[in-house]
Structure 1
């Protein structure tokens, strides 16, 4: 089956605290026309952004669903509050690579409890839910086993989407920045320009945005220009669940 090449615009770490970072960018994207987005929503970002305490933000997300955007469960707290790491590799992943690998070391029981709480949050606010993305894309084996027990259709890592419950991989290369310092932003642009050229013929390209990207004109402008360029190249913008439906994944809200 032939498909038009696609583009997935994904906003990570969506929470009341991060919305002011995203708002100008989202307004600029909306001004381009109908460009659906995938919002990775954190139910209680860093234990200080519980969605139940922010009805105005929930109404914003209600409006995005009505517009055709997709909301995805993105961890629960989006911070690693587990016991200290004892193995050097685990210490590196949890304290150097990221401090936000919430699901990196969770047992199956702990992951299942946190995932179920997230699913219940979406159900409470009547938001369709098909996907889960772990913070920093880090998942323990216990998390993987927990995901097999839930009514979710997919998860992802930086270069793939995975059909659940069997974790069948689907290539979905992604551009992502490290924007915490000027040298990281400069290097990110070089790397992403190279990757975009390499993936010119790829069936899909994901743009993975983070709130910190929006705080610097250099990285924010990169994302807007890249989005416009890929749209001009004929790529069709979709949400993740819409694109998976074109690949034959049975999802309930992908029509």
Structure 2
């Protein structure tokens, strides 16, 4: 059976209402078979509160996978060359791990891992960098931090091992009309083009709830890609036969 991996990004007290809306919106498609990407202190102004920690634990107890999603989610590095182009075109000051050296990337990863595991009482599923952007040093730090799984735009991999799934993640942009329209067009193409893949990924963000057109596209994308698939956990990729997850 083919698999679909769903995730809610930017899970933080700052976006608690939006996360609740997304959970309700995705429930008819995947129930609670999804992942949450937890930001420990979004932009340095939204640390995990005791009340929100309780919610994270209950979600984890219900079977939702928890990923560490950076620490601040804010990029304060100075970039040059290709990295500068990625920082301008692929995100708006959100690529926290795009410019970090090994030591700083590892320290933030370890702090995030410790916090989320302490809050939930469970091992985290893995690490996914904000905006899916990593420096080479940050990719190396994933191994030292002991994460079982990582993800970027084009693949899911085991930091100490092999690539586990290939293919672009389907996601949407909400911060401008132009980006919203382009993401709608991309989703319309991808939900058809990705049909043959054994594993597909859909990622939603808090901002998606502000645009009804994005929510309608999310519904159409799930409805299309769920045909012949079952919602799965990222951790399933670690135990599935390689032939069933590789394109």
TM-score of the pair, normalised by structure 2: 0.89
Partner of 1:136: 131
Partner of 1:100: 94
Whole-Å separation in 2 of the counterparts to 1:168 and 1:210:
25
**CA pair 43-241 structure 1, distance change in 2 beyond 3 A:** same
Whole-Å separation in 2 of the counterparts to 1:151 and 1:131:
9
Partner of 2:245: none
The Cα of 1:175 is off from its aligned counterpart by 0.6
* Deviation string, structure 1 residues 24-44 (Cα, Å, up to 9, x no partner): 231233355734111011111
The Cα of 1:168 is off from its aligned counterpart by 3.5
The Cα of 1:247 is off from its aligned counterpart by 4.2
Whole-Å separation in 2 of the counterparts to 1:207 and 1:31:
15
Partners of 1:13 and 1:211 within 8 A in 2: yes
2:186 pairs, out of 191, 198, 207, with: 191
Partner of 1:71: 66
Partner of 2:174: 179
The Cα of 1:122 is off from its aligned counterpart by 2.1
The Cα of 1:20 is off from its aligned counterpart by 1.3
2:35 pairs, out of 33, 38, 60, with: 38
Segments of 5+ residues of structure 1 without an aligned counterpart are 249-255
Partners of 1:35 and 1:238 within 8 A in 2: no
Q: Does 1:19 align with 2:16?
A: yes
1:121 pairs, out of 115, 120, 132, with: 115
The Cα of 1:76 is off from its aligned counterpart by 0.8
Q: Match of 1:9, SS? A: strand
Whole-Å separation in 2 of the counterparts to 1:190 and 1:173:
14
The Cα of 1:167 is off from its aligned counterpart by 5.2
**CA pair 55-32 structure 1, distance change in 2 beyond 3 A:** same
**CA pair 247-133 structure 1, distance change in 2 beyond 3 A:** farther
2:47 pairs, out of 45, 50, 53, with: 50
1:157 pairs, out of 152, 158, 177, with: 152
Partners of 1:46 and 1:79 within 8 A in 2: yes
Whole-Å separation in 1 of the counterparts to 2:32 and 2:198:
18
Compare 236-245 and 99-108 and name the one that shifted more: 236-245
Partners of 2:74 and 2:96 within 8 A in 1: yes
| Aligned residue-pair number | 240
* Deviation string, structure 1 residues 52-103 (Cα, Å, up to 9, x no partner): xx12211211111111110000111100123x33x24433333443211111
Whole-Å separation in 2 of the counterparts to 1:122 and 1:22:
17
Partners of 1:159 and 1:174 within 8 A in 2: yes
1:235 pairs, out of 229, 237, 242, with: 229
Whole-Å separation in 2 of the counterparts to 1:110 and 1:46:
16
Partners of 1:149 and 1:165 within 8 A in 2: no
